[in-house]
Amino acid sequence: NAGVTQTPKFRILKIGQSMTLQCTQDMNHNYMYWYRQDPGMGLKLIYYSVGAGITDKGEVPNGYNVSRSTTEDFPLRLELAAPSQTSVYFCASSYRPLADTEAFFGQGTRLTVV
């Protein structure tokens, strides 16, 4: 059982470039999330989705976009990359809302913008 799979694991982008971080889960979870983790700053929610076709902004959505066309996939798009987007990005999924259930995290994507 693969769980939550993120690709790529590492990426270096130049300022102004765009890229898509891929996330897929095989647990048939309706709820999916994108977090970023900066050193010493904890995890911040970028976007989340409560089901296919439904997405909503989290705490730090500026500079990002998402889509959710299937239950399995929740890609995160970076347009016009900026150094402030250098971070580790984690995708997560859950069976129910996160109040009383476990979030399953991917291994993360380490992104550097230079």
Binding residues vs other proteins (CB under 8 A): 4, 31, 33, 40-45, 48, 50, 58, 90, 92, 97-100, 102-103, 105-108
| Smallest gap from residue 54 Cβ to other proteins (A) | 10
Judged by CB, which is closer to other proteins: 9, or 17? Answer: 9
Phi, psi at residue 82, to the nearest 5°? -125, 155
Judged by CB, which is closer to other proteins: 13, or 92? Answer: 92
Amino acid found at 28: N
Amino acid found at 12: I
Judged by CB, which is closer to other proteins: 48, or 64? Answer: 48
Give the integer Cα–Cα distance in Å for 104 and 27.
Answer: 10
| Smallest gap from residue 80 Cβ to other proteins (A) | 26
The token pair at 35 is 């977090």
Query: Which CB contacts under 8 angstroms, 24+ apart, belong to 52-59?
Result: 58/33, 58/34
Strand partners, 93: 32, 104
| Smallest gap from residue 83 Cβ to other proteins (A) | 21
Judged by CB, which is closer to other proteins: 13, or 47? Answer: 47
